[in-house]
Amino acid sequence: MKRLLLLNGPNLNLLGTREPAIYGHETLDDVVALVTTTAAELEFDVRAVQSNHEGVLIDAIHEARTDCAGIIINPGGLTHTSVALRDALTGVQLPVVEVHLTNVHAREEFRHHSYISPIASCTIVGAGVQGYEFAVRRLARLLG
């Protein structure tokens, strides 16, 4: 069975309690359950990793090159700052779908730039937790 890497960056462990008016009431566990269920319907397995540390995320991306078919990533605040995360994603040569819970383009100007979007196969913004479901389905289609 093919595997997908679900990667969530800094502060996403606080989903459900961090600014619920902006990010909603669903938790990271809800996200992982949704992705796992959706992926199973499409005959994919999921490895989920969340970290507040850039190096841990990069290590997970490097590991994915040996046993994953694609990556779904919500890089959190690293979206706007991390060339190293972008380099890791391009280095493993796996399809990437970028997800953001909110419409980052309707928020503060610093959130409008993503180092990940130009190298992603698809970017999903503003769909809330459902964006992760869309990401699984899009990645499955890309992988055939």
Residue 23: active-site member? yes
Ligand-binding site membership of 17 (annotated): no
Find out whether 59 is annotated in a ligand binding site: no
Does 111 appear as a known binding residue? yes
**Is 102 known as a binding-site position?**
yes
Catalytic choice (25, 53, 62, 100): 100
SS (H, E, C) the chain: CEEEEEEECCCHHHCCCCCHHHHCCCCHHHHHHHHHHHHHHCCEEEEEEECCCHHHHHHHHHHHHHHCCEEEEECHHHHHCCHHHHHHHHHHCCCEEEEECCCHHHCCHHHHCCCCHHHCCEEEECCCCHHHHHHHHHHHHHHC
User: Is 101 assigned a ligand-binding role in the annotation?
Assistant: yes
Active site residue 100: yes
Please list the active-site residues: 23, 100
Provide the annotated binding site for substrate.
74, 80, 87, 101-102, 111
